[in-house]
Amino acid sequence: MNIAGVSKAMAIVLLVIGLIIGVAVGYVVAGLTAAPTQATAVAPALKGEVAVGALLPLTGVLSSYGENDKAALELAEKEINDWLKARGEEWYIKLYVEDTATDPKTALDKLMTLHGKGIKFIIGPMSSAEVSEIKSYADTNKILVISQSSTSPALAIEGDWVYRYITTDLIQGPAAARVAYDQGVRYLVQVWRGDTWGDGLARATREAFLNILKKTGEAGDVIEGVRYDPAAKEFSAEVAKLSSLITDLAGKYGKDKIGIDAVGFEEMVAFIAAAKAYPILSEVKWVGSDGTAGVSGLVKERELAEFCIKVQFLSPIGTPGVSPHTEKVKKYVRDKLGRDPEPYAYNSYDALWTIALAIDLVDKYDSEAVKAILPEVVKRYIGASGSFELDKAGDRAYADYELWIPWTTDTGYDWKIAGVWRGATDKIEWADWWLAAVK
């Protein structure tokens, strides 16, 4: 497709040059089309509104993430449309956002609503339980879904209509296991959200922790603690059971060797609030997950934040790659919401950009054509989450994990990065401030 005598291939070259001098918007793509031939004016196939849906948890137990990701998508939408306008294109991206309330059934209902409007491209939903619920409908109707944060290994299915711009919990599990082990834990008690995501991550962490023990030849174990209802709002019974388990284990092995693996979403705020009533639960180490990293409820109240600091509640979450656009998205979200986004917001930003680039390259609103070319677009793309590739199942192929923890600030408490787990080496690079704090 040529616009005003400039081919798509040439526009991409000019975009790369623009990035070098600092005037282009947030991505690089190269090598997807042949070199330009003689310029000719061709009528554009795309005109007017090009709709993309977003299924975000603006309420429910992932609402903090949903708000962050909505802001990141708004920035991407504006940048894309500015870029298209500057190129003289006659089409523009229109984002349609629906609130899933972090509920699988609601997510399916909202997907059907968006599909009823003719929308064939969806960003989100965020939880694996939601993705599992909508997957059959998306596959049947050839709706291309890109989840920024669904990590369940059970959803890594080659050839389906779900792409995921995040690694699966087969990688996050070893990160959490390494955190617990390096903190001195040898007996790990698991507490987890009883859904597709929670079951998968708990299993991956358990297997990784047992594998570490096998390699080192040390005594230890992973104990099935509490699998709780994802709809639960109150956790007095679950916390009482956990306290009893920890008390028994501490009596046998010592508190310094006992840890709690807490796999949940924002309901962990209520869980930890209940745990404060049992002193033994504040005397062992805790490790969280990507579902708790950055949760605002854990840094709003002094008692909850101090509990997290005392138990060294480190939550692994996939780290964005190195990119000049990461800080731009971070600043936009911070200015809009007053907080730094979780890394999945960068994936959302990249999802909209890569969809737009693929649509631009195929020059039609065709989910099959976009699905076919998207992995190649991603391979040549550098966005807010850095550069990455998709594996055979359409999931992000590799990642390291930042370790987030609530910590004190000049004005109260906020989340801070204590270190990074490197997947290639299974080692943690601790931040200097953290090493000094835990001496």
Flag whether pLDDT at 428 surpasses 70: yes
Question: What is the pLDDT, as a whole number, of residue 45?
Answer: 80
**Residue 119, class by beta-carbon neighbours within 10 Å (0-12 exposed, 13-18 middle, 19+ buried)?**
buried
Question: What is the pLDDT, as a whole number, of residue 391?
Answer: 97
Flag whether pLDDT at 38 surpasses 80: no
Question: What is the pLDDT, as a whole number, of residue 251?
Answer: 98
Query: What backbone torsions phi and psi does residue 134 show, to the nearest 5 degrees?
Result: -90, -15
Residue range 105-124: average pLDDT?
Answer: 99
Over the stretch 139-155, which tens digit does the pLDDT of each residue have? 999 999 999 999 999 99
Query: What backbone torsions phi and psi does residue 330 show, to the nearest 5 degrees?
Result: -60, -45
Question: What is the pLDDT, as a whole number, of residue 28?
Answer: 52
Residue range 254-279: average pLDDT?
Answer: 98
Residue range 144-171: average pLDDT?
Answer: 97
Pick the range with the lowest mean pLDDT from 82-96, 240-254, 321-335.
321-335
Question: What is the pLDDT, as a whole number, of residue 321?
Answer: 83
Q: How far is CA 369 from CA 112, 234, 297, 376, in A?
A: 21, 47, 42, 12
Predicted confidence band of residue 85 (pLDDT cuts 50, 70, 90): very high
Predicted confidence band of residue 320 (pLDDT cuts 50, 70, 90): confident
- pTM for the full predicted model: 0.86
* Torsion 293-427-284-311 (CA) sign: negative
Question: What is the pLDDT, as a whole number, of residue 59?
Answer: 97
> Can you list the domains of the chain with their CATH numbers?
2-166+321-387 (3.40.50.2300), 170-319+399-437 (3.40.50.2300)
